Amino acid sequence: MTTKPRLYYFNGRGRMETIRWLLATAGVEFEEAEYLETREQYEKLLQDGALLFQQVPMVEIDEMKLVQTRAILNYIAGKHNLYGKDIKERALIDMYVEGTMDLNEMIMLYPFSSPEEKEKNFALMIQRATNRYFPVYEKVLKDHGQDFLVGNQLSRADVQVLESILMIEEYEPTVLSEFPLLQAFKARISNLPTIKKFLQPGSQRRTEPDDRIVETVNKVLQL
């Protein structure tokens, strides 16, 4: 019997959420280890030597304990045919994905902003999305002329761009108003069966961060 991937993280999105997205897209069932809620839980993982660089996320998969978000994502994408058909497609996927991860970092850190920084950080997040990142993906879709960002099949680039779109729409619902191709892309990719299932209520997708998860992360990591 194949063991399900086991995820070690907080009960929140953070750096684990894209990993959840890729597993769900690939139709892979996974389970969450006991969510990190105390410093003691985190220190036990450190003492056990499981966290190679003393950081989460960690994923137990295929008899490995993988850390470092990009390494985990690369492995899942490569294993489940979400990483292009050749090295050129992989280079394009990596390029587009790095953009989404830059944007996701801003979205992820926004709830941790101090009250005096929140307004400025919100404006910067929306400005970067609409002036730096989304215009790129809109142009890629136009120039490529396909349903997907790279090649003629779904890749992690499509999944991660969709994830970014949906997260930033939670803060600014009209963010795609100037990007008709991305609007169509969002509708198209959201309706793929495994992704549609992941977007349903009750799935393993985590909700928008709230004050509770911010407090928990700060306490566990002693930020």
Domain residue extents for the chain: 6-80+199-212, 87-191
Q: Do domains 6-80+199-212 and 87-191 have the same CATH topology?
A: no
pTM over 0.85, yes/no: yes
- Mean pLDDT of the 51-78 span: 95
Question: CA 217 from chain center: how many Å?
Answer: 18
Average of per-residue pLDDT values in the chain: 95
| ∠ CA 76-136-99, rounded to 5° | 40
Pairing between strand 6-8 and 64-67? unpaired
Q: What is the pLDDT at residue 10?
A: 95
Q: Which two tokens stand for residue 43?
A: 């220190």
Q: What is the pLDDT at residue 161?
A: 97
Which residues neighbour 133 within 8 Å (Cβ) at sequence distance 6 or greater?
99, 100, 102, 103, 164
pLDDT band at 2 (very low <50, low <70, confident <90, very high): low
Q: Which two tokens stand for residue 80?
A: 């489940």
Least confident of 20-24, 48-52, 79-83: 48-52
Q: What is the pLDDT at residue 208?
A: 86
- Mean pLDDT of the 73-84 span: 97
Q: Which two tokens stand for residue 58?
A: 């960690």
Question: Are the CB atoms for 21 and 163 separated by under 8 Å?
Answer: yes
- pLDDT over threshold 70, residue 111: yes
Which residues neighbour 175 within 8 Å (Cβ) at sequence distance 6 or greater?
126, 129, 130, 134, 165, 168, 169
Which residues neighbour 84 within 8 Å (Cβ) at sequence distance 6 or greater?
90, 92, 93, 150, 151, 155
- pLDDT over threshold 90, residue 1: no
Q: What class does CATH assign to 87-191?
A: mainly alpha
CATH superfamily of 6-80+199-212: Glutaredoxin (3.40.30.10)
